[in-house]
Amino acid sequence: QQPVQSPQAVILREGEDAVINCSSSKALYSVHWYRQKHGEAPVFLMILLKGGEQKGHEKISASFNEKKQQSSLYLTASQLSYSGTYFCGTEIGERDGGSQGNLIFGKGTKLSVKP
Amino acid sequence: DAGVTQSPTHLIKTRGQHVTLRCSPISGHKSVSWYQQVLGQGPQFIFQYYEKEERGRGNFPDRFSARQFPNYSSELNVNALLLGDSALYLCASSLRSGLRFSGNTIYFGEGSWLTVV
């Protein structure tokens, strides 16, 4: 059930763009994206709900394709502060229409932005 | 407003001992979840409590237990500690139990770093 994130790691120069993908084998209710810096707790970036919506947060945006059970995180014009490990957390839908109420996280994508 | 607060921030225990970790959710949040994060991995779900009732349990042994108090704070207890229990334990709070509701985001505390020696 654990979503698969790709790539595992990426190195960028300041100003470059990156895409991080998150794929699940289960039907999803929502996808949550977090960034975690070394030695700190994960920080919420955005949530995407069923409906294929796309959300943005400054220069970070994301999309959710519920048919493919995939989400992508887009980082444009990267800044040094974007460095960290990005996790997608997926909320699995249940047959009765409910949800499990918890997130299943991928293994993370380590992003390093160099000057 | 204060975020999710956890205590202690760091602790070292010996194999076989017991540990209690504490969490206070964001004011107004009624749901508290616990996650374990081993180095190099994503957080793994342990428990969710909502309105003092257990709403979900992850794939963890019975040595792990939790409870939620009337003020919505929570405790995570781990008995008979093993070396493999060494991890960052994250508490997360959210307004409601179901995450699919728009805006019902979970917010993590800074975590409790547990080292078992």
pLDDT band of residue A27 (cuts 50, 70, 90) is confident
Provide the 10 A C-beta neighbour count for residue A52. Answer: 12
pLDDT band of residue A96 (cuts 50, 70, 90) is low
Distances (CA, A) of A83 to A10, A35, A52, A113, B76: 10, 9, 27, 5, 31
pLDDT band of residue A54 (cuts 50, 70, 90) is low
The pLDDT, as a whole number, for residue B102 is 47
The pLDDT, as a whole number, for residue A103 is 86
The residue-averaged pLDDT of B54-78 equals 94
3-state secondary structure of A82: helix
pLDDT band of residue A97 (cuts 50, 70, 90) is low
- Best mutation target, A48, A103, A109, to test chain B (most B CBs within 10 A): A103
> Does position A95 have pLDDT exceeding 60, yes or no?
no
Q: Using the beta-carbon criterion (under 8 Å), do B110 and A41 form an inter-chain contact?
A: yes
The pLDDT, as a whole number, for residue A83 is 96
Q: Which of A101, A106, A108 sits opposite B99 (nearest CB)?
A: A101
For residue B90, the chain A residues in CB contact (below 8 A) are 41-42
* Contact assessment for residue B106 and residue B56, using Cβ atoms and an 8 Å cutoff: no
For residue A90, the chain B residues in CB contact (below 8 A) are none
The residue-averaged pLDDT of B19-26 equals 97
A84 touches chain B (CB under 8 A): no
The residue-averaged pLDDT of A65-80 equals 91
Give the residue carrying structure tokens 């699940």: A24
> Does position B104 have pLDDT exceeding 80, yes or no?
no
pLDDT in tens, A1-16: 899 999 999 999 999 9
The residue-averaged pLDDT of B89-96 equals 89
Alpha-carbon gap: B43 to the closest alpha carbon of chain A (Å): 6
Q: Is the dihedral of CA B96, B52, A102, A73 positive or negative?
A: positive
Ranked by mean pLDDT, the top range of A37-51, A88-102, B65-79, B87-101 is B65-79
